[in-house]
């Protein structure tokens, strides 16, 4: 790589130049919907597409306010204008309102009503139709506003809610990025005292983000990738990209200060830091690869984004950065800020002496260090045993989103159940529902059974639409018949609307109760089966799959990381110790998450007033994979320097303080940058992102202070030469270069 460094750098630059234009359009290919592969919710959706050919498989709700009641002449005329305009919109597969069914469910308070709109798209993700539908609704409102000044048309439902939530999340990312970049640049200037040296890590972070977005945008044209890619690419690109380049630039400046010219200093930095970065990036990548085993589009998308960010960051740092450093040489310190530069030189020397003395204290009193740092860590980690991954209580949706405001309007109308309906698919293998009484009566029986439940606001089925009269089927609109009866006549759809007062958690509990009861009991027909879809089912299936996959994912992460560390350090004790400390860091960060968000201690400072009662199922599995890899970074940085010192002939008692003198300042700077990046995401409007950002920031803080500066060195001292068994102390290289390492 050294001999061909400029060729390699040139190839990487060409790749960057080729991919960069695609990064600006990645968002249009990323999906806002959540897909849970193999789930019952997804199975119901596919059945409605293939067997029912329903025009309302994907649907939105248009809430209409400010018009006369829909059952009046004036209101009917205005509603006719709206329905006709919606039917003309490309991608609209069906429209149903009070005009078609004359059902009181469409009539709300103060003349408010709603229109159910089915969507279908062959040209891309169906959620791409939502912005166009917004434009159509706005045009229709403007058309009627001269006669009805108070008219308001708002979209809600699963698709608009997902769209607005992800948009709010993306806005949080852009806002956080605008705050993080100046703060990060300030921290880099304090670390290096030079504009040129500070700009290199920042540039690597930005390039890592751009290349990741470009590649995921291209992949999203063939695979389902969530728009959460934007969040994670930005968050981790700034964190990992800057961290890795920071290590390389620090090693290069250290070599230049020792008297080496640009090319030889670049070679030393690439050999010393490059190997460390490969080990570190491998541990990070393993965590993200493990997320690909979870059959949920959001989690897999995070895995793809994280893996690409880690890989691209280490690629840029090991190819492009050394070539740039070789060209710069001593000009790396160009643009030094006089006051900061003077502080940089004096501070670095004083900091190194201070950390060496601190290391000597830890080496002299390892058991005391373990006791003082370990007790608070274990106490915090114990709180993780109270982690509850059911859906959080309260109103956690972003209030500024139109879809959320429209949902609140439906709640005031006592019609929010239309958004959260349970879509129950009943299968009667032996009986034709429209052709014999037994099949018809079975659907009518289950409809009445569910309607009698106090948690139910309304059941809409083929029997309720026909008023329990089988002969009235022919009078139903074709759209309604296709929506509630399969083409072969053996399956029926029941739309079960929960009471508006029912929380998401209570909806999920009710759904699981229905599944447990089964179709045979509810219909009275042996052999009958049911499947449940809709938002409550998606939430239930999501939670179940995450819980079932958590242990396999964590086992895969731990096992893969152990192998990577064994390959990198050839030491069993070091690898096992690193795994144990990482598990402790993760548990402590989960404990902090429980205390602050779940129980509400201090959550008001983050804009969450009162505890959420639980944590989103997504958060623990994703943060475990990320935290485990990130925590390993600083372990690798420190242990690699201890190993270098041991190979240079120092004893364990001397090597640990020496390594701390060399790396503690770097770890502190890198951790400060990481904490700033992650903490910026805790002040947004999206609760999931708040939880992830908070957990990552706490984990990095704990890891860079108590774990790596106290517990880790103390354990190294206690293990002594056993740290490096069986082959850690063997030189990895022959010849003069080995002495440099």
For residue 81, is pLDDT > 90?
yes
Say if residues 67 and 78 touch (Cβ distance below 8 Å): yes
Both tokens assigned to 687: 């609760």
Q: pLDDT tens digits for 379-411?
A: 999 998 898 887 776 666 777 788 888 888 888
Is residue 737 scored above 60 in pLDDT?
no
pLDDT confidence tier of residue 740, bands split at 50, 70 and 90: very low
Q: Within the chain, what is the greatest distance between any pair of CA atoms?
A: 95
In whole angstroms, give the CA distance from residue 399 to residue 649. Answer: 62
pLDDT over 70 (residue 154): yes
Could you read off the pLDDT of 519-548 as tens digits, one per residue?
888 888 888 899 999 888 988 888 888 888
**200-221: pLDDT as tens digits:** 888 888 888 888 888 888 887 7
291-317 tens-digit pLDDT: 888 888 888 888 888 889 888 888 888
Residue 27: per-residue pLDDT: 66
86 band by pLDDT with thresholds 50, 70 and 90? very high
Residue 279, C-beta contacts closer than 8 angstroms, at least 6 positions apart: 564, 565, 567, 568, 569, 636, 640
Task: Say what the pLDDT of residue 390 is.
Answer: 79
Q: Mind listing the domains of the chain with CATH numbers?
A: 5-29+168-394+541-740 (1.20.1640.10), 58-161 (3.30.70.260), 421-533 (3.30.70)
**CB count, 10 Å around CB of 212?**
31
Give me the residue label for tokens 């308070």.
109
- Mean pLDDT throughout 48-68? 90
What strands lie across the sheet with 422-427, from one edge to the other? 456-460, 491-498, 422-427, 529-533
In tens, the pLDDT along 481-519 reads 888 888 888 888 999 999 888 888 889 899 999 999 988
pLDDT band, very low/low/confident/very high, at 140 (cuts 50, 70, 90): very high
Confidence band, pLDDT 50/70/90 cuts, at residue 343? very low
- Supply the mean pLDDT for the chain: 82
pTM exceeds 0.85 for this model: no
Q: How far is CA 705 from CA 68, 444, 476, 493, in A?
A: 65, 65, 69, 57
Residue 632 and residue 625 in contact, taking contact as beta carbons nearer than 8 Å: no
Q: What is the mean pLDDT of residues 640-650?
A: 80
pLDDT range class, residue 466, cuts 50, 70, 90 = confident
Residue percentage of the chain with pLDDT more than 90: 14
* H/E run at residue 457: strand 456-460
Tokens of 576: 């096992």
What per-residue confidence (pLDDT) applies to 739? 36
Q: E strand or H helix at 130, and its extent?
A: helix 129-144
Query: Which of 124-128, 414-418, 619-623 is least confident?
Result: 124-128
pLDDT reading at 284 higher than 50:
yes
Give the residue, 160 or 337, on which the prediction is more confident.
Answer: 160
* pLDDT digits 0-9 by tens, 168-181: 766 776 777 777 78
CB 694 within 8 A of CB 682: yes
Cis (ω within 30 of 0) for the bond into 726?
yes
Task: State both tokens at 360.
Answer: 């000597």
pLDDT at 735: 37
Q: Which residues contact 717 (CB under 8 A, 6 or more apart)?
A: 362, 363, 366, 652, 653, 656
The pLDDT value recorded for residue 341 is 47
Q: What's 452's DSSP letter?
A: T
Q: Is the pLDDT of residue 10 over 90?
A: no
Instruction: Give the span between the Cα atoms of 475 and 209, in whole angstroms.
Output: 57
User: pLDDT by residue (tens digit) across 427-457?
Assistant: 888 777 887 888 888 888 899 999 999 999 8
The DSSP code for 399 is T
pLDDT above 80 (res 419): yes
What pLDDT does 734 receive? Answer: 39
Angle between helices 366-382 and 712-719 (to 10 degrees): 130
Q: Give residue 236's pLDDT band: very low, low, confident or very high (50, 70, 90).
A: confident
How deeply is 544 buried, as exposed, middle or buried, from its count of CB atoms within 10 A (0-12, 13-18, 19+)?
middle
pLDDT of res. 351: 63
pLDDT tens for 181-191 read 888 888 777 77
Q: Which range (84-98, 566-580, 585-599) has the least confidence?
A: 566-580
At residue 354 the predicted structure's pLDDT band, cuts being 50, 70 and 90, is confident
**pLDDT tens across 239-256, in order?**
788 888 888 888 888 788
């Amino acid at each position: 790589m050294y001999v061909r460094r400029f060729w390699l750098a040139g190839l990487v630059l060409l790749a960057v130049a080729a991919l960069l234009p695609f990064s600006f359009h990645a968002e249009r290919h990323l999906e806002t919907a959540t897909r849970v592969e193999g789930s019952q919710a997804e199975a119901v959706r596919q059945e409605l597409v293939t067997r029912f050919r329903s025009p309302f498989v994907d649907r939105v709700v248009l809430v209409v306010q400010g018009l006369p009641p829909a059952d009046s002449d004036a209101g009917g005329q205005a509603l006719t204008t709206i329905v006709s305009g919606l039917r003309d919109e490309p991608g609209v597969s069906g429209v149903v309102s009070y005009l078609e069914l004359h059902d009181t469910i469409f009539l709300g308070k103060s003349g408010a009503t709603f229109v159910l709109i089915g969507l279908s798209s062959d040209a891309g993700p169906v959620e791409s139709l939502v912005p166009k539908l917004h434009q159509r609704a706005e045009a229709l409102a403007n058309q009627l506003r001269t006669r009805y000044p108070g008219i308001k048309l708002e979209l809600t439902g699963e698709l608009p809610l997902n769209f607005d939530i992800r948009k709010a999340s993306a806005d949080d990312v852009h806002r956080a990025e605008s705050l993080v970049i100046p703060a990060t640049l300030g921290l880099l200037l304090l670390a290096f005292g030079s504009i040129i040296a500070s700009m290199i890590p920042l540039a690597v972070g930005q390039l890592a983000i751009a290349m990741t977005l470009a590649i995921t945008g291209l992949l999203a044209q063939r695979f389902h990738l969530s728009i959460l890619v934007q969040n994670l690419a930005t968050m981790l690109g700034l964190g990992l990209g800057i961290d890795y380049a920071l290590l390389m630039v620090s090693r290069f400046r250290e070599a230049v200060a020792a008297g080496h010219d640009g090319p030889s200093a670049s070679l030393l930095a690439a050999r010393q830091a490059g190997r460390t970065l490969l080990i570190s990036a491998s541990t990070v990548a393993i965590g993200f690869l493990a997320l690909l085993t979870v059959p949920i589009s959001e989690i897999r998308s995070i895995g793809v984004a994280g893996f690409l960010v880690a890989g691209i960051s280490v690629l840029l740092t090991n190819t492009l950065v050394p070539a740039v450093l070789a060209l710069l040489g001593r000009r790396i310190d160009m643009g030094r800020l006089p006051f900061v530069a003077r502080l940089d030189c004096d501070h670095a020397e004083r900091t190194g002496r201070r950390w060496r003395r601190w290391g000597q204290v830890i080496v002299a009193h390892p058991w005391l260090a373990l006791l003082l740092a370990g007790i608070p860590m274990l106490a915090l980690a114990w709180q993780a045993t109270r982690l509850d991954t059911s859906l959080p209580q309260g109103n956690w949706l972003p209030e500024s989103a139109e879809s959320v405001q429209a949902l609140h309007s439906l709640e005031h109308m006592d019609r929010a159940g239309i958004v959260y309906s349970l879509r129950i698919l009943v299968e009667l293998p032996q009986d034709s529902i429209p052709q014999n009484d037994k099949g018809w009566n079975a659907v009518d029986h289950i409809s009445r059974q569910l309607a009698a439940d106090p948690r139910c606001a309304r059941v809409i089925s083929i029997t309720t639409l026909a008023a329990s009269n089988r002969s009235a089927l022919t009078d139903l609109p074709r759209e309604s018949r296709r929506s509630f009866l399969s083409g072969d006549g053996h399956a029926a759809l029941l739309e079960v609307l929960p009471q508006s007062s029912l929380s998401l958690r209570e909806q999920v509990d009710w759904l699981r109760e229905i599944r447990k009861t089964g179709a045979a009991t509810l219909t009275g027909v042996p052999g009958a089966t049911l499947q449940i879809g809709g938002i409550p089912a998606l939430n239930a299936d999501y939670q179940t799959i995450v819980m079932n996959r958590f242990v396999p994912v964590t086992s895969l992460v731990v096992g893969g990381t152990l192998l990577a560390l064994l390959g990198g350090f050839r030491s069993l004790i070091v690898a096992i110790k690193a795994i144990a400390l990482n598990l402790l860091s993760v548990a402590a960060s989960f404990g902090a998450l429980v205390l602050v968000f779940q129980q509400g201690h201090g959550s008001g400072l983050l804009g969450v007033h009162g505890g959420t009662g639980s944590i989103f199922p997504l958060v623990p599995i994703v943060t475990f994979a990320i935290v485990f890899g990130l925590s390993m970074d600083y372990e690798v940085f420190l242990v690699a320097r201890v190993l270098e010192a041991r190979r240079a002939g120092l004893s364990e008692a001397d090597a640990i303080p020496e390594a701390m003198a060399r790396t503690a300042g770097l770890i502190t700077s890198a951790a400060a940058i990481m904490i700033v990046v992650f903490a910026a995401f805790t002040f947004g409007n999206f609760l999931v992102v708040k939880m992830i950002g908070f957990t990552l920031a706490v984990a990095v803080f704990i890891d860079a202070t108590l774990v790596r500066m106290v517990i880790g060195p103390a354990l190294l001292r206690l293990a002594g030469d056993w740290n490096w068994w069986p082959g850690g102390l063997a030189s990895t290289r022959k010849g003069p270069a080995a002495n440099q390492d």
